[in-house]
Amino acid sequence: ALLIAPVTAVVAGLFLDDIAEVVERTDYPGDPTGRAMPALRSLVLSARFLGVVILGNIVALLLLLVPGVNIAAFFIVNGYLLGREFFEFAAMRFRGEEEARALRRHYAGTVFLAGLLIAAFLAVPLLNLLTPLFAAAVMVHLHKAISVREVARSSRR
């Protein structure tokens, strides 16, 4: 169970662009599709994310013996990390790294809630095998919704 989140992170990092492109073409046919991240950069970001997720889950594992806290720690750690990384991966198809990170910070609560949804999906045996597909699709939709909100917000200024 400890390794399901890191494995999800690696699989998603390698295939997120393919999944995102399918979602964009299917659900947003009038919008331009994002640009795929270069393979080497995607690999570096996936490896970095793998390390962060393993570290976060080790911290959560330390709380395993504390009833109630262990479940909360799993969801908080994985909700934050999965939300953060999947959103940034989806956003970087349309934006630079810094802009994607700033957008994630600005909508941190929304991204965290989406990450909690992904963590809940991750916690269900067998269903968790589809987590990379689910997470990528959720974050592509979330990024599109936030982008529309950002355009509307900037046009009001």
Cβ–Cβ under 8 Å, residues 114 and 83: yes
Proportion of the chain above pLDDT 90, given as a percent: 46
Q: What is the pLDDT of residue 49?
A: 78
Q: DSSP states of 103-119 as a string?
A: HHHHTHHHHHHHHHHHH
Q: How do the domains of the chain map onto residue ranges?
A: 4-155
What span, in angstroms and rounded, lies between the C-alpha atoms of 16 and 12?
Answer: 5
Q: What is the pLDDT of residues 54-79, one digit of tens each?
A: 787 777 777 777 887 888 888 998 89
Query: Which pair of tokens denotes residue 72?
Result: 């909360």
Cβ–Cβ under 8 Å, residues 114 and 142: yes
Question: Sign of dihedral through CA atoms 12, 13, 18, 22?
Answer: positive
Q: What is the pLDDT of residue 1?
A: 55
Query: Has residue 100 got a pLDDT over 90?
Result: yes
For the segment 89-104, the average pLDDT, to the nearest whole number, is 95
